[in-house]
Amino acid sequence: MNILLIGSGAREHAIARAFKRSPQNPNLFCFGANVNPGIKDISTGYTTGKITDLEAILNFALTNKIELVFVGPEAPLAAGVADKLWENNIPCVGQKQILCQVETSKGFTRDLIIEYNIPGSIKYKRFNSLEGVEDFLIELEELYVVKADGLANGKGVKVAGDHLHSHLEALTYCQELITEKSNFVIEEKLIGQEFSLMSFCDGTNLAHMPAVQDHKRAFANDEGPNTGGMGTYSDANHLLPFLTAEDIIQAQTINQATINALKNKFGEDYVGVLYGGFMITKNGVKLIEYNARFGDPEAMNVLAILDSDFIELCQAIVNGTLTQEHAKFKNLATVCKYAAPIGYPDNPVKNQKIDISNIQNKEQLYFASVDEREDGLYEIGSRTVAVVGIAQTIYEAEKIAEAEINKIKGPLFHRKDIGTKELIEKRVKMMKRIRNDR
Ligand code: AMP
Ligand code: GLY
């Protein structure tokens, strides 16, 4: 079977490995923005180009007689790559453009949740001018968040208390967005713990993945600027230490209701991964946002323990025959840590050599923003490589990931606290306090 993977980051490296583990032994092809040495090593064919160039992707797929496509990042999906491939009878895991609005417009998602009476909604308003902004800020008191409506690479969200310290600062940010011709949403600030609950979808049926917690801030103790995600963990029971089984069911129910709503609204099947970003609060599970793809690094956590044939799973997704049986996960805990260039995300060092030769378990090393040159591997400015520890408990998995990442040489940094007992106990304590406050 000939399979095409679009994208070339660590998330796609994890997807590529999941395909290669299939007993069906596929020929893997990759269309990436750059060469990922890990994906290249296990690919039959590899090309680089603009991953939103639909004609180039289609041509590469046709030339290589591709029978199934998996799209990693959001940009090609938002550009309509799934529409293009299906028009040419090439099955694609990754939903059509119109359905990507769950990720590409925060206002669209908030409206959808209200329109279909889906649980997990919060107070919000959509704006395209300053009219009414101040009144709404007053209504929300000091608990507000201002978000650019569209894709902003994680940089469009500013939270009161963290990034905005007065109504004046909030209004200034709103004016900035208006000047950039960006619509925006203001919503209530939630207090609690965030988690990611991703589901495979065939348009009607969902198969849920284990819950994962990401760490967006650059430095230990959740300090510093927001990043693409510095690391993640998941637990052996597929819950998280601060979540109950009921919390997870609430999140799964919200994902299912959203897929049903999208089908009702557009008459189109959502074929791909729905990634719910949730917050558990004193009032239950609330939706922060949706992504229309696998999370990065979340994909590394869940795919590392996927116990099913990934090709069979993808075929069930595109054929509309998905059940939870297609997505079985081992009862093991995982911790993923990213090494990023010193100075990331604001002023990362670039074109510096790194050395990964001491890594013990190369199967759990994932390449991201790296360039393989004649004299070795170079970091090129974004999250560089990730390692995953897998064990019976989060703490054991953390020790494995931490030991491995410390073996990487070069001007890199990582968060030592992700998955540690100290940090997790802090989160559990916080949630206990919040729940008792009810
Ligand atoms: P988003 O791009 O919507 O995921 O937002 C990025 C980050 O901003 C989230 O991961 C949260 O940490 C934070 N955030 C977004 N919306 C809210 C909210 N309503 N309340 C509290 N924090 C939020
Ligand atoms: N882990 C955050 C993201 O993939 O958007």
**pLDDT recorded at residue 417:** 98
This prediction has a pTM of 0.97
Residues flanking ligand 2, CB < 6 Å: 214, 229, 291, 295-296, 298
Q: Which ligand is nearest to the CA of 231?
A: 2
435 CA → ligand 1 middle, Å? 20
Residue nearest to atom 7 of ligand 1 (CA): 157
Ligand 2 nearest atom to the CA of residue 294, by list position: 4
pLDDT at 151: 86
Ligand nearest to the CA of 192: 1
pLDDT tens-digit map of 278-310:
999 999 999 999 999 999 999 999 999 999 999
Q: Estimate the crossing angle of helix 106-115 against helix 245-266, to 10 degrees.
A: 100
Spatial distance between the Cα atoms of 335 and 400, rounded to a whole number of angstroms? 8
**Token pair listed for 318:** 């595109």
Give the nearest ligand 2 atom to 154 CA.
5
Q: Looking at residue 438, what is its pLDDT?
A: 62
CA-closest residue to ligand 1 atom 16: 288
Residue nearest to atom 8 of ligand 1 (CA): 157
**Residue ranges in the chain whose pLDDT is less than 70:** 154, 438
Cβ-Cβ contacts under 8 Å for 133 (sequence gap 6 or more): 127, 170, 171, 174, 186
289 Cα: distance to centroid of ligand 1 (angstroms):
8
Neighbours of 381 (CB within 10 A): 19
Q: Which residue has the tokens 């991964």?
A: 273
Domain 2-94: CATH architecture, name and number where available: 3-Layer(aba) Sandwich (3.40)
Query: Which two tokens mark 107?
Result: 């206002």
Of the chain, the end-to-end C-alpha distance in Å amounts to: 54
* Nearest-atom index, ligand 2, CA of 296: 4
Mutational test site, ligand 1, from 288, 291, 296, max ligand atoms within 8 Å of CB: 288
Between the CA of 68 and the centroid of ligand 1 the distance, in Å, is 34
The pLDDT value recorded for residue 192 is 97
Task: Output the ligand 1 site: residues, CB below 6 A.
Answer: 145, 147, 154, 157, 159, 187, 189-190, 194, 216, 277, 288-289
- Domain parsing of the chain, residue ranges: 2-94, 125-188, 193-424
**Ligand nearest to C-alpha 105:** 1
Ligand nearest to the CA of 290: 1
Q: Which of 209, 233, 296 to mutate to test the pocket of ligand 2 (most atoms within 8 A of CB)?
A: 296
Which residue's CA lies nearest to atom 3 of ligand 2?
A: 295
Q: Strand 2-6 vs strand 68-71: parallel, antiparallel, or unpaired?
A: parallel
Q: Whose CA is nearest to atom 4 of ligand 2?
A: 295
pLDDT of residue 196: 98
In ligand 2, the atom with minimum distance to the C-alpha of 298 is 1
CA of residue 374 to ligand 2 center, whole Å: 32
How many Å apart are CA 300 and CA 87, to the nearest integer? 31
**∠ CA(381), CA(387), CA(393), 5° rounding?**
145
The class (CATH top level) of 125-188 is: alpha beta
Quote the ligand 1 centre to 362 CA distance (angstroms). 34
Per-residue exposure over 87-110, b if at least 16 CB sit within 10 Å of its own CB, e if not = eeebbbbbbbbebbbbbbbbbbbb
Whether 2-94 and 193-424 share one fold: the answer is no
Q: Which CATH superfamily is domain 193-424 in?
A: ATP-grasp fold, B domain (3.30.470.20)
Q: Among 125, 123, 121, which residue's Cα sits nearest to residue 107?
A: 125
Query: Under a CB-based contact definition with an 8 Å cutoff, are residues 81 and 90 in contact?
Result: no
